Amino acid sequence: MTAPLTGLGLVLDDIATAEVERLEALHVPLAEAIRELVDAAILTTTDEETVRSATTTVREVTARLRREQVPGTAGVHHNADGRAWNWGNAAVGLRNAAAPPLVMATRTDGTAYGEATLGAAHEGPPGLAHGGVVALLLDHIMGVTASRYERVTFTGTLTLRFLRGTPLGHVRVDARIDSAEGRKVVVVGSLSDAEGVTAEAEGVFVVPRWAL
């Protein structure tokens, strides 16, 4: 997300790209470690004393991290070089241990794809991904596809068709612009496992009048 999106509450920060990358290299391992902790806390069958001691230790770590923190939320930032970071994002946030995270790439032809590994924290029906997690991954990639990192779009409607259950594990999402006319951009997307598509989606995204 580069400068044209600034109107949406994005913050232009005077931080050098090298410093953004130093901070990412420092914080990503912490988020990854917490993601493992979330998984372990769901699955553990260890004794009461170990669970209580873990709870106390986690609270101590949190208190140390909170000594200095930004107010509110992480927000979406970019610098003058066009380097952007949205570390708290619920789908892709690299510092958000609650995000799967979805790892995305866009192609020059306007399509996008992404990958994620879903585990115990993403379960709905036994052994299957929660339908809402499927929706989260599709909503995110389709919104990015609509905006193409260069214009503001809001999701108007999103229609999801669940073809079959999505087993936990590795999934991929694909999206492309189906049509774009005036302020309306229609994006289609799908989520697949190794056997093929498990869910399809169509989204109507709207470019606000002030962004035309």
Q: Which of the residues 154 through 173 are near a copy of itself (CB under 8 A)?
A: 154-162, 165, 168
Task: Please tell me the distance from the alpha carbon of residue 148 to that of residue 112, in angstroms, as a whole number.
Answer: 9
Q: Tokens 């999801």 appear where?
A: 160
Please list the residues that pair with 104 across neighbouring strands: 114
x/- mask, a copy of itself, residues 15-54, rule CB under 8 A, reads -----------xx-xxx-xx-xxx-xxxxxxxxx-xxxxx
CA torsion sign for 205, 107, 130, 31 is negative
Instruction: Choose the binding region for a copy of itself from 105-113, 135-143, 170-178, 185-193 (rule: CB under 8 A).
Output: 135-143
Q: Which of residues 84-103 bind a copy of itself (CB under 8 A)?
A: 86-91, 93, 95-99
Please list the residues that pair with 85 across neighbouring strands: 77
Nearest to a copy of itself of 47, 109 (CB atom): 47
Does the footprint of a copy of itself cover residue 12 (CB under 8 A)?
Answer: no
Strands 103-106, 112-118: pairing is antiparallel
Q: Which of residues 104-133 bind a copy of itself (CB under 8 A)?
A: 119-127, 129-133
Does the footprint of a copy of itself cover residue 64 (CB under 8 A)?
Answer: yes
Task: Please tell me the distance from the alpha carbon of residue 76 to that of residue 138, in angstroms, as a whole number.
Answer: 20
